Amino acid sequence: MEWCKYLRDNYALSLHTDISGCFCGCIYKMSLRQRGQGGSAVLEKYVIKGGKELSGEVFISGAKNAVAAILPCTILSDEPCIIENIPNISDVSITLQIMSEMGAKIRMLNKTTVEIDTRQLQNIPVPYEKAKLMRATTYFLGTLLGRFHSAHVSMPGGCNLGDRPIDQHLKCFSALGAEYEIDGGMVNLRADKLVGTQIFFDKNTVGATINAIMASVKADGLTIIENAAKEPHIVDLANFLNTMGADVRGAGTDVIKIRGVEHLHGCEYSIIPDQIEAGTYMVAAAATMGNVLIKNVIPKHLESISAKLIECGVTVTEYDDSVRVSCDRRPGKCNIKTMPHPGFPTDMQPQFAVLLCLADGTSIISESVWDNRFRYAEQLTRMGAKIHVDGKTAIIEGVPSLKGAPIRADDLRAGAAMMIAGMVATGVTEIEEIYHIERGYENVVEKFRSLGAVIERKTFPDEDKKSHKNAG
């Protein structure tokens, strides 16, 4: 099984399958430190030699944020579901592992298609060891509550982007009739029955909007969600649920109406292309002054990214399901303020910051979503960038070039930005903590190589661990 082999080889997963090829489970050991020969500890890094213009074509994978919700959502189905266009990323492997351990039967039909049968799934707790690895484990709260009227899920982890409370999630569960308690880091939900209601979110929240939808699709009566998030992956989730027989209307607007149904049937469904992966390659093409055709995209989802690239003097040409990005001169300055969809996505601002580090003039980035989004600035400064961060604002003075340096990936999107920085820098850049990147980008090394980037995945002795051992 190619998919399972990929996970085992790249993410230190121990997999086992039955003779039918069913994915039965895995032991996730995601860590920056891997074991070398003789039990010695090693570090995995990306080593990038910069200065190459990117050119060619790249195919965009299924959306990480969409699949993160849709896979747990199959728990609500009374029949097996087939999900297509699954990205080969570690967040998928963690989700499938959790579901497999709960009793779901998971069969990989090919490297991008999975069949999930949750009829025998048991309502067991989602432990801290799994929940700490990604934020999306919160979606098990909504799906388990919707099916079993109870749920037990550890508080989530994921990228350290600042305060990420679940108060709005709990608000919607309470409104539907559930009681909750948080005990020892475990969120416990229980309801005699779920009843449709009116939910108004105090702030725009993607995760809580998704959980509200999933918890209410089988509730009695009508649920109205106001101030709902409008991201493309919320629309994708609603389309998936409707394909199973749900009645969800208004997704993509700030008011979503859900009329509960008694049963949801199985279906075949294909995940939308990843908006942020596409945007990352668009920015990489512009930053390296390259010419890249980005295929398998929905151009409508990329409008805010395209608009800012064009403002910087980059050429963006849209086709039916692809975009071409080209740049033959130093980009111009621009100001960015991240906003909920359809505004400029917060998940694209670290990548865009690299482009603005090379721009002609001074640019300002205002972050309105996460508190700790600018942690990457320190890494870019090591490469010669001029960035001043004040709270949730970054002032970037463009410089002619960046220089290769040892840097790290502080989180998923910052890691993608470091890769772009390495590709535009002179000399060699080594990136540590690459596991962050592989949470959300499928075959990222291979894809960038296909565009002409000089990048390798290498292992190095873990000097920190060696020193600690010697000191002991």
Does the domain made of 33-61+274-466 have the CATH classification 3.65.10.10? yes
Maximum CA extent, the chain? 65
Look at residue 34 and tell me whether its pLDDT is greater than 80. Answer: no
- Selecting among 159, 172, 267, 327, the annotated active-site residue is 159
pLDDT digits (tens, 9 = 90+) for 291-313: 999 999 999 999 999 999 999 99
Tokens of residue 24, six digits: 């039965």
Same fold, 33-61+274-466 and 64-270: yes
Specify the pLDDT at position 280: 98
Look at residue 424 and tell me whether its pLDDT is greater than 80. Answer: yes
Calpha distance 326→288 (Å, rounded) = 9
Look at residue 31 and tell me whether its pLDDT is greater than 80. Answer: no
pLDDT digits (tens, 9 = 90+) for 355-393: 999 999 999 999 988 778 899 999 999 999 999 999 999
**What are the contacts of 182-187 at 24+ separation with CB within 8 A?**
182/155, 185/128, 185/154, 185/155, 186/125, 186/152, 186/153, 186/154, 186/155, 187/141, 187/151, 187/152, 187/153, 187/154, 187/155
Contact 40, 461 (CB under 8 A): yes
Cβ burial of 451 (10 Å; 0-12, 13-18, 19+) is: buried
The percentage of residues in the chain with a pLDDT greater than 70, rounded to a whole number, is 87
Please, which residues have CB within 8 angstroms of residue 468's CB and are 6 or more apart in sequence?
none
Look at residue 235 and tell me whether its pLDDT is greater than 50. Answer: yes
pTM of the model: 0.89
Share the mean pLDDT of the chain: 89
Look at residue 9 and tell me whether its pLDDT is greater than 80. Answer: no
Domain boundaries defined on the chain: 33-61+274-466, 64-270
159 classed as catalytic:
yes
Assigned CATH for 64-270: 3.65.10.10
Q: % helix / strand / coil in the chain, to the nearest 5?
A: 35, 30, 35
